[in-house]
Amino acid sequence: MRLDLTPDQLAALTEAPAVEGDVAARSRPLAGIAALADAGPADLSFLGNPRYAAEVPASRAGAILVPADHPGSPAAGQVFLRVANPTHALALVCSTLEARLWPRPPAGIHPSAVVEPSARVDPSAHVGPGCTLLAGASVGPRAVLEAQCHLGAGASVGEDSWLKPRVTVADYCAVGARCRLQSGAVVGADGFGYEPVGGRIERLPQVGVVVLEDDVEIGANATLDRARFSRTVVGRGTKVDNLVQVAHNVRIGRHCLITAQVGIAGSTVLGDGCVLGGQSGVAGHLRLGDGVRLGAQAGLFEDVPAGGFMNGTPAMPFGLERRVAVLARRLPDLFKKVDSLAAALDSLRKDAP
Amino acid sequence: MRLDLTPDQLAALTEAPAVEGDVAARSRPLAGIAALADAGPADLSFLGNPRYAAEVPASRAGAILVPADHPGSPAAGQVFLRVANPTHALALVCSTLEARLWPRPPAGIHPSAVVEPSARVDPSAHVGPGCTLLAGASVGPRAVLEAQCHLGAGASVGEDSWLKPRVTVADYCAVGARCRLQSGAVVGADGFGYEPVGGRIERLPQVGVVVLEDDVEIGANATLDRARFSRTVVGRGTKVDNLVQVAHNVRIGRHCLITAQVGIAGSTVLGDGCVLGGQSGVAGHLRLGDGVRLGAQAGLFEDVPAGGFMNGTPAMPFGLERRVAVLARRLPDLFKKVDSLAAALDSLRKDAP
Amino acid sequence: MRLDLTPDQLAALTEAPAVEGDVAARSRPLAGIAALADAGPADLSFLGNPRYAAEVPASRAGAILVPADHPGSPAAGQVFLRVANPTHALALVCSTLEARLWPRPPAGIHPSAVVEPSARVDPSAHVGPGCTLLAGASVGPRAVLEAQCHLGAGASVGEDSWLKPRVTVADYCAVGARCRLQSGAVVGADGFGYEPVGGRIERLPQVGVVVLEDDVEIGANATLDRARFSRTVVGRGTKVDNLVQVAHNVRIGRHCLITAQVGIAGSTVLGDGCVLGGQSGVAGHLRLGDGVRLGAQAGLFEDVPAGGFMNGTPAMPFGLERRVAVLARRLPDLFKKVDSLAAALDSLRKDAP
């Protein structure tokens, strides 16, 4: 889809306090958005991350969102939109595009959807083709269920939530308001609970639920297990990326970022504002305070107080892990040095009277 | 759903040999199940893991399942149910709840399901809304396919197996009796088999199948690849957690526990009773004996005899890995110590005659 | 399905220059394909990996594909088919089987599929039961969409591509020609883009697309995120395994192999011919040259020039990582050695005049 907005229109949209560039360029409609190095004269670009600042002078972009204090000037025929926060400004532009690309689908239930008589669908909600809603399921005002979503018995989706195609919200689980769930997400699989009984493995029934509070987002093919009893909880405003595993009885606080492929084992409790790096893992029955951070691929096996930043496997405080990682690369030298020390000491002892 | 059972009823259900608490408390119906720290007077709680023993005296639970030899006594208005194994006792309670929450769906094929004429569905089985069963697929007695499951050509599901919504059992693959498959599981994707041919990558056709033996459970969005030829096998009673990857021609033994996000590469063979920790990986073409254990996030690149316990990446025997992990944290000290030894030796040499 | 081909027929099929074994054996139909150790007299087997050469003499296979220069001879009643490349020869046999097992489904749209009027489906394409195609979606000549696939608004699938059951190609995303997508793959989930805004986390709209070039294969339950703007790209001929995460704005070159459970963070660019080992991770905003290799479970946090081979977390050059891994296991000895050096030095100093 074409952007179809002029730099002047974009300046109004992003509330850019300063626009630099000639009038012709400012009133020429742009077609797309592209990274600095890829953009052409018909593209809007932006400097969101200072690491790319050196790419600005060479960029062929028709217009660039730059920080207010960016030192350069636009090239000929190019426009600079000076803004407080280019990333936020670009988000405003993208929001405009998003509203065009994804208009809210019409209210109503697609004739191919299967909705049990006892399910309650608000008249303003959209239930797409191929959806299946079991007994007692409920869909709130203005919620959107795209194609092939499944709500189990007694499952609920709150107002203004948006489920992309092929999402499962299993029996009795609850999705709050303004949540977004990506394709293939599974909310409410059975927890992995077993007991060895004489060489066999016996299943422990998992009769709890999953509760997603308001403003939660869940990534594609992520899996969240129902509690063994009571509730697995994802706190308000928390964002969970693709292919993340949240085990039974986990409680994630508010406004956390759980990056792709993270795994959180059973009964662990996270505070608010935690950030877990990609592919990291957290063992079961742990307590993480508010604002805890965990590096990518780290493996955490101990409680962490508020504000802690851990890294490595097994995870240790970030600063220590950095030193250990640097020294580990110097192990070949260390072994050699110790060998030569031993030799020197030997020869010294031989020489000793 | 409310628990709606009194402590006395729970005692009968769990065959608790001893019940402590006053008569009024013993005959008051409980509403839910909760962890010790979260439970209120209307909740049943339990002490399944000794690490939580200190939480018992402060718990406000209406009734607590405790080990027979637990030293404390119930608080006023509280009931202790003394049992041999609180975890097992709780499982009995949860089984009762589970039977209420998930009554077996009615026999028959939902009118929205698409079932090819040559597919065979036992009259006692349930095929839910939106399911698709291709030619020659078969569903055994009392099996349940919840909504939107797919059985490929010639695929089979054995008696009493239960497929949660949106499970794929691909062409020609076989699921045994009493298996449970969670939402989004894919049994029988193509194996990842390729050969580089002159700068391009040529696909090796994958014409084998996946066989799940009886009593196997597969987690949400787990993927099991069909064999290049012959069979990928998951042995009887083995439990596979969410987001696990089982590559082509892998053979997993009986009664294994494969935790979330584990990956097992092609042609590797596991014995019986193996336990793989979360996010661990096993390279291809390996042999693991019976009862092998692998720590969370470990990466195994060598065969392991029966009973071996490996940890770390690359994995080494558990005891060695623990020592190495502890010493790694002391590397900064070791480097300093070696530097000071070198300095001391230098000064000694200078002083030497 | 039975193989039902005689060794002589297999020799013709694989263009085997030399066939050894008696005439009766050469004209006896074989039933299946099995590994050397598992094969019986009715099976074809093969020696594709020299590590299994010792299993040939003991194999009971009715016929074995062996390299032209394999030193042994067939056992009584056994046939050797000597070929340049047994793996390639087996692939030819499996291709024959594959064509029998997976005949192209009939052209046309299954009556249970929901296809919006503005979607364009080539008359030679197959759209299976339960598929949902939104407005403006397009399906090219001879493409196959198996059951329950979903094409979003404006999504396209090129000629001769084959989507296994339950694949999502989200709105506006494009799949090239001759691609293969396995069950549960999600092409075009929202990128994980957020900005912390005063304690809350604000979503950055993701308005770009995913483009799969020709001959790309995507594994089961893999997830590829749409770009924040512009395009996330998987280059021609690249193969992506199960449960892989490709974040927004990633560009993967041509003819790469991305093994199971790999994660590639946002905006990273891979050259052609890269090979990423299972469960490895690549941080965001990196540049990997052509032919870069990354070991299994490695975690890469820096750019790598063409041809680089990295391993470990944080990843370092492969040779260095191997030395460090070996020395790490010797840390207990090193600590002891340093302690004894210190003691020896102490006693020397005491003895010093």
Give the CATH number of the domain where residue C172 resides: 2.160.10.10
Q: What is the pLDDT of residue B287?
A: 98
Q: Which chains touch A (3 or more CB pairs under 8 A)?
A: B, C
* One domain, residues C174 and C275: yes
Q: Which residue has the tokens 């499952």?
A: A155
pLDDT band at A1 (very low <50, low <70, confident <90, very high): low
Query: How far from the centroid of its chain's Cα atoms is residue B87's Cα?
Result: 17
Pair (A158, A93) in one structural domain: no
Tell me: do A136 and A214 sit in the same domain.
Answer: yes
Report the residue from C110, C242, C334 with minimal CB separation from B245.
C242
Residues A191 and A173: beta-carbon distance below 8 Å:
no
Residue A2 in domain: no
Residue A57, phi then psi, degrees to nearest 5:
-60, -35
Chain C contact set for A33 (CB, 8 A): 207-208, 229-230
Query: Which among C38, C51, C148 is the nearest to B150, CB-wise?
Result: C148
Q: Which of A1, A49, A220 sits opposite C189 (nearest CB)?
A: A220
For A343, the domain range is 322-351
Contact check, Cβ <8 Å, B207/C241: no
Percent of chain B scored above 90 by pLDDT?
Answer: 91
Alpha helices, H only, chain C: 7-14, 23-26, 86-101, 318-329, 331-351
Place of tokens 């046999």: C93
Q: What is the CA radius of gyration of chain C?
A: 27
Please indicate, yes or no, whether residues A330 and A224 belong to a single structural domain of this protein.
Answer: no
> Do B36 and B185 lie in a common domain?
no
Domain count, chain A: 3
In a domain, B48, yes or no: yes
E-assigned strands of C126-256? Answer: 126-127, 132-133, 138-139, 144-145, 150-151, 156-157, 162-163, 168-169, 174-175, 180-181, 186-189, 194-197, 200-203, 209-212, 217-218, 223-225, 231-234, 239-240, 245-246, 251-252
> A137 with A280, same domain?
yes
Contact criterion met (CB < 8 Å) for A165 and C166: no
Inter-chain touch A297–C285, beta carbons under 8 Å: no
- The β-bridge partners of B269 are B251, B287
Residues of A in contact with B263 (CB under 8 A): none
Secondary structure letter of residue C304 according to DSSP = B
Question: Are C148 and C272 found together in one domain?
Answer: yes
β-partners of residue A44 are: A33, A63
Question: Which residues of B are tagged catalytic?
Answer: 248
Residues A323-347: pLDDT tens digits?
A: 999 999 999 999 999 999 999 998 8
Domain for residue C222, yes or no?
A: yes
Q: Note whether residue B2 is domain-resident.
A: no
- Residue C188: phi, psi to the nearest 5? 105, 30
Among C85, C16, C92, C10, residue whose Cα is nearest residue C44: C10
| pTM confidence score | 0.96
pLDDT tens-digit series, residues A230-287:
999 999 999 999 999 999 999 999 999 999 999 999 999 999 999 999 999 999 999 9
Alpha carbon distance B127, A130 (integer Å):
16
The subunits that touch chain B, with at least 3 C-beta pairs less than 8 Å apart, are A, C
By the 8 A CB rule, do C232 and C214 touch? Answer: no
Residue C142 and residue C92 share a domain: no
Q: What is the pLDDT of residue B352?
A: 67
- Where does a domain end: A60, A80, A101? A101
C100 to each of A344, B209, B230, C1, C94, how far by Cα in Å? 74, 15, 16, 9, 10
Model pLDDT, residue A198: 77
**Residues A61 and A205 grouped into a single domain:** no
- Please tell me the distance in Å from B68's CA to the nearest CA on chain A: 19
Percentage of residues in chain A having pLDDT higher than 90: 91
Nearest to C303 by CA among C321, C330, C284: C284
- Please report, in angstroms and rounded to a whole number, the separation of the first and last CA atoms in chain A: 89
CB contact (8 A) between residue B324 and residue C341: no
To test the contact with chain A by mutation, choose from C127, C131, C150 the residue with the greatest count of A C-beta atoms within 10 A, namely C150
DSSP B66-110: EETT----PPTT-EEEEES-HHHHHHHHHHHHHHHHSPPPPSEE-
Q: Which of B101, B120, B151 is a domain's end point?
A: B101
> A89-116 pLDDT, tens per residue?
999 999 999 999 999 999 999 999 999 9
Facing B241 at nearest CB: one of A130, A132, A192: A192
- Tell me whether residue C184 is exposed, middle or buried, using C-beta atoms within 10 angstroms of its C-beta: 0 to 12, 13 to 18, 19 or more: buried
- From the number of C-beta atoms within 10 Å of its C-beta (0-12, 13-18, 19+), residue A197 rates as exposed
Environment class of C76 (CB within 10 Å of its CB; exposed 0-12, middle 13-18, buried 19+): exposed
φ and ψ at C95, to 5 degrees? -60, -40
Q: Are residues C285 and C330 in the same domain?
A: no
- ipTM attached to this prediction: 0.95
Best to test chain C binding among A331, A334, A340, A341 (most C CBs inside 10 Å): A331
Is C1 domain-assigned?
Answer: no
Helix, strand or coil, per DSSP, at residue C97:
helix
What is residue A17's predicted lDDT score, i.e. its pLDDT?
A: 82
pLDDT tens per residue, range B121-172 = 999 999 999 999 999 999 999 999 999 999 999 999 999 999 999 999 999 9
Q: Domain of B64: which CATH number? A: 3.40.1390.10
Specify the residue for token string 């912390």. Answer: C196
Are B263 and B225 in a shared domain? yes
Is residue B247 included in any domain, yes or no? Answer: yes
B264, part of any domain? yes
From B83, B101, B119, give the residue that closes a domain: B101
B1 inside domain: no
Q: Which of A110, A248, A255, A285 is catalytic?
A: A248
How many whole angstroms separate alpha carbon A217 and alpha carbon A209? 18
Distance from CA of B53 to the nearest CA of C (A): 36
Residue C259 to residue B192, Cβ atoms within 8 A: yes
Locate A38 and state its tokens: 């890829």
pLDDT tens for B264-283 read 999 999 999 999 999 999 99
pLDDT in tens, C42-73: 999 999 888 899 999 999 999 999 999 999 99
User: Which residue is closest to B89 within chain A, CA to CA?
Assistant: A204
pLDDT for residue C352 is more than 70: no
Query: Do B113 and B94 belong to one domain?
Result: no
**C-beta separation of C330 from B328 below 8 A:** no
Of the candidates C162, C148, C157, C151, the one whose C-alpha atom is nearest the C-alpha of residue C104 is: C162
